[in-house]
Chain A
Amino acid sequence: MSGFLEVALLLAAPLLLAAAGELLLERAGSIQIGLEGTMLIGAFTAFAAARSGAGPHAALLAAAAAGLLAGAAFAAFAVAGRADPILVGTAWNLVAVGGTAFCYRLLAGVTGSVLEVRTLPALAFGLPAAALAVFVVPFVLEVFLARTRPGLALVAAGENPLALAATGGSVVAVRTAASVAAGALGALGGALLVLTVSPTFVEGVTAGRGFLALALVVFARWKPLRLVPGALLVAGATALQYRLQAGGSHIPYAVFLALPSLLALFALAFARGRGGAPKALGTPAP
């Protein structure tokens, strides 16, 4: 089973990272349903950086920088601009999907030959350091939200923005910061795909992982630590599927594709109230 655990962890890392960022943003009261687009931006940036000679770690950094910018841009519309984040996110996906495909064609030519890049070197368990570090992120997030002052301010921005404003905080600043962080984490998640799982970029390389990450946040009921079992479950199921496929099994792959969304739907259906959703989720800053 050595290969199985390795593959599962490798598949879980990008998902977990993107979901952690999204969770942070949603706890602050905004929501980016265009996470798929942000992951694509990260994946493409890492790919483009690696193609132009950067090492895999530099490529990771480049993706993080692109993610910061993406998060800031989203916040400019959906936080400072007070446009509905759901609608901004819908348009965001179109721009990111189209934009990365456009740029990839410029890089690869219209015919689209497969271009490989160097992957991150493995550190332990066949995993690179960056992928291992990902599993610390939910714990850091938990401590940040539960025990620090800015964490409390962030929770207030998502639960009772008026209270944050009244006590001298800025809802726009807090949500923008959360969006920038979420952008960086989402883009890093996309970059990990290119730099670990499949060493190339194709259009739609994220294959719905951004949406899966959204589902995971709901499944985790907005609690950082619950992201870990969720991500491992999804990644484990996918890894299992690879093995079963190799062994000629006939359990349809679709079951595993649908699994996280179905689990999230059940989590929503059977949780009390709104399933732990922040009270001010999706509402404009005062």
Chain B
Amino acid sequence: MSTQPSKKSPASCSSSPPSLELRRISKRFGETRALSEADLVVFPGEIHALLGENGAGKTTLVSIAAGRLTADSGEVLRGGAHVSFRKARDARLAGLVLVPQHDLLIGAASVADNLAFLDSAAPFFESAGSRRARVARLARAFGLELGDADARADALPVGTRQRIEVAGALAGDPDVLILDEPTAVLSPDETSALFASLRKRADAGAAVVLITHRLAEVFAGADRLTLLARGRSVKTCRISETTPEEIGGLLLKNAEGAVRETEKKREKEEEKIFIEGVRGARPLELRGDMARGRSQTHPSKHAARSAAQHPDKSLALTGFAPNVTSAVRAEGISLSLSPGELLVLLAIDGNGADDIARAIAGLEPFSGRVEICGVTLPSSGNPLVFRAAGGAFVPADRREEGLVATLSLSENLALPNPPGRVLLDRAAMRTRAEERLGAFGVRFASPDVPAGSLSGGNQQKVVLARELARDPAILIAVHPTRGLDLASAAAVRSRILDACCAGSAALVVTADPDEAQLFDAPIRVVYRGRLSGELAPTTPAATLGRLMAGLEA
């Protein structure tokens, strides 16, 4: 991170009244308590990081601040005065702008039209010239590269799109700017450029709230932070008053409640690793030692992998490149996996790793050559051929791509080739479901309940149970543990490792360096579509992090 925190901002905080105060905010969604008496206080001139695990309530809290949701109780103050925004529009008019995680642009419209759309101060009628002038003006004022004013938004790279959204939010000179995970899809350069623009705005007296998962960014670019855990604000302090270790420890400690008692042992082991990950911003020597110590706690699968004598490769890529329209495209990839071998592709989202996995699985077209056990897959992308050749796929989005949520568990497990010659053999389907789900430790009332009624972790186990039931030659798994509690994540990992012991090759995509190490298998980092060389699982997470960020070649 090239941008350094401004040293004057923290001092100015206490003197002026806060730009935005959220006091004792509570919010329920049905049975789920999203926020309980959470606080957030933001001062003019500061960049304030809002941190927390998935599901900690960060997005809910800022949505309430921006009038997109109404709190069940608690109060919202702006400049010391009570406000109650009924609609997002009221909040915008009062100078508070939220840039949400999802796409804000009209794909079919030009950059100029999109900025007119996002600018809350745009006039009723506006000439094309005036709209183009806005693009130039905003680009200049905030030092943002916004691209050609007449280009269609959906033809632009993701970084440019993100900058257009931020420029649109800044167009109305908001007093409070809230950004929900703006850096998730950005490269390090793009991230530094974004922080520089935000700092400019903060120096002009605005308050900036930034939701992020990346502690390194926070410690490089923010002035203060608030940590949310399970709907409560558990810590607020200046960056200079804390360390990444302390915040990382707090994040983990508060996630513990979600983990079952029986999994405590495994969780302890993970805790150690988690804290190591947090130390990513610290000197390397410390990290390396701890990582080496950890690698012995997991039973090594190296024996199984090296024992494989099969001459055929389970997966072989030659000059492979997914043909996708994404901003970042992987190219010229050649690699191969023998039976029992596991390879981890580690990458920040948006670097093309997901596309590699999806193209192998036949869900995207590709160029080059993909072979599974000697069978060449058609480059137009055909999931049927992939599977017929012995492939199995665990998608990133299990609700959309992994399962048919409204069909029962037994029906889901019976797909894609349900048993029965003429009529469905429902008895066989139930038996099979009970066996497989039991073996995978899925908690379910009956094989007849809809798959969508299970928790996220159990759904993921159902997907794995279905995919591994085929004894695949190669398993492709994309973010297999994303969004799962620690216990479920560990269970999913060990299922994948078991499959490798049984002779399957596996390609796992993940965005988490610690997760990558836990597979205890070679790691290749994907940065802007390029694969690094093979790295040992003992490679320090800090090194992996730097590779992911493109800081080391």
Contact = CB atoms under 8 A, between A and B. Distances in A.
Contacts of A162: 100, 102-103
Nearest to A277: B108
A215 B223 CA distance: 58
Contacts of A159: 106-109
A106 B126 CA distance: 51
A166 interface: yes
Contacts of B117: 152-153, 156, 163, 167
A65 interface: no
Interface residues of B, number: 31
Interface in B83-110: 87-93, 98, 100, 102-109
A170 B113 CA distance: 19
A153 to B, nearest CB: 7
B311 interface: no
B420 interface: no
16 contacts: A146-B113, A148-B125, A149-B122, A152-B106, A152-B117, A153-B117, A155-B109, A159-B107, A160-B107, A166-B68, A167-B88, A167-B120, A168-B87, A169-B89, A170-B87, A279-B107
A207 B100 CA distance: 48
A166 B100 contact: yes
Contacts of A169: 89
A250 interface: no
B104 A166 contact: yes
Given A153-B117, A166-B104, 20 more contacts: A147-B128, A148-B124, A148-B125, A149-B126, A152-B106, A152-B113, A152-B116, A155-B108, A156-B106, A160-B107, A162-B103, A163-B102, A163-B105, A167-B88, A167-B117, A167-B120, A168-B87, A168-B89, A168-B120, A276-B108
B198 interface: no
A160 B105 contact: yes
Contacts of A148: 124-126
Contact of A155 (B92, B106, B122): B106
Interface in A27-42: none
A169 to B, nearest CB: 7
Interface string A270-285: 0000001011000000
Closest 6 CB pairs of A and B: A168-B89, A168-B88, A163-B104, A152-B117, A159-B106, A168-B92
B102 A166 contact: yes
A165 interface: yes
B122 to A, nearest CB: 6
B123 A149 contact: yes
Nearest to B116: A152
Contacts of B92: 167-168
Interface in A236-286: 276, 278-279
A27 to B, nearest CB: 10
B166 to A, nearest CB: 13
A163 B127 CA distance: 23
B465 interface: no
A165 B88 contact: yes
A2 B108 CA distance: 42
A149 B100 CA distance: 21
A23 B103 CA distance: 25
B56 interface: no
B124 A149 contact: yes
Contacts of A279: 107-108
A178 to B, nearest CB: 16
Residue of A148, A162, A163 ringed by the most chain B CB atoms within 10 A: A163
Nearest to B109: A155
A165 B117 CA distance: 12
A160 B104 contact: yes
A156 B120 CA distance: 14
Given A149-B122, A153-B117, A166 B105 contact: no
B118 interface: yes
Residue of A160, A276, A278 ringed by the most chain B CB atoms within 10 A: A160
Contact of A167 (B109, B118, B125): B118
B127 A147 contact: yes
Interface string A121-160: 0000000000000000000000000111110110110011
A280 to B, nearest CB: 10
A155 B88 CA distance: 19
A162 B118 CA distance: 13
A160 B67 CA distance: 20
Contacts of A146: 113
A167 B66 CA distance: 10
B123 to A, nearest CB: 7
Interface string B31-51: 000000000000000000000
A176 to B, nearest CB: 16
A194 to B, nearest CB: 36
Contacts of A152: 106, 109, 113, 116-117
Interface string A149-193: 110110110011011011111100000000000000000000000
Contacts of B91: 168
Nearest to B165: A163
B54 to A, nearest CB: 20
Contacts of B108: 155, 159, 276, 278-279
Residue of B93, B108, B124 ringed by the most chain A CB atoms within 10 A: B108
B341 to A, nearest CB: 40
B98 A166 contact: yes
Nearest to A162: B102
B101 to A, nearest CB: 10
A160 B109 CA distance: 11
A105 B36 CA distance: 64
Contacts of A147: 125-128
Interface in B471-519: none
A156 B126 CA distance: 17
A189 B108 CA distance: 30
B174 to A, nearest CB: 12
Interface string B116-149: 1110101111111000000000000000000000
Residue of B67, B90, B126 ringed by the most chain A CB atoms within 10 A: B126
Contacts of A160: 103-107
B132 to A, nearest CB: 13
Contact of A163 (B103, B120, B122): B103
Contacts of B68: 165-166
A169 B126 CA distance: 19
Nearest to B87: A168
